[in-house]
């Protein structure tokens, strides 16, 4: 997994070793951020069910002011 755009473009993200977590695909992530592009810059973002933190880290890279990551898994929280 990598950050797909913004100032952190290309940064590799750590992923879980468990197979039961499926990160958002790059195509879906790109669609989400193209659609929300103007709403993210300078805003606070909430990444619910954060998992790997993939979406929240992408939001920071694309200009979000801050991100709050929420997940029930202690492993995911530690990873982020």
In tens, the pLDDT along 8-57 reads: 676 766 666 665 666 667 788 888 888 998 999 999 999 999 888 888 98
What's the average model confidence in pLDDT over 53-70?
Answer: 92
More confident residue, 65 or 8: 65
User: The whole model's pTM is what?
Assistant: 0.70
Q: Do 52 and 80 meet the contact criterion of CB atoms below 8 Å apart?
A: yes
Number of other CB atoms surrounding residue 43 within 10 Å = 14
What six digits make up the tokens of 51? 């998992």
Write the DSSP string, 8-45.
TTT-B----SSTT--PPPHHHHHHHHHHHHHHHTT-EE
Burial class (CB in 10 A: 0-12, 13-18, 19+), 38: exposed
Q: Give the pLDDT score at 22.
A: 64
User: Domain 26-79 is of which CATH architecture?
Assistant: 3-Layer(aba) Sandwich (3.40)
Q: Where are the domains of the chain?
A: 26-79
């Amino acid at each position: 997994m990598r950050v797909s755009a913004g100032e952190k473009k290309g940064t590799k993200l750590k992923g879980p070793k468990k197979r039961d977590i499926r990160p958002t695909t790059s195509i879906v992530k790109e669609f989400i951020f193209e659609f929300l592009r103007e709403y993210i810059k300078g805003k606070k973002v909430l990444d619910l069910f954060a998992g790997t933190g993939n979406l929240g880290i992408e939001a920071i890279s694309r200009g979000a002011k801050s991100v709050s990551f929420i997940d029930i898994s202690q492993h995911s929280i530690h990873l982020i």
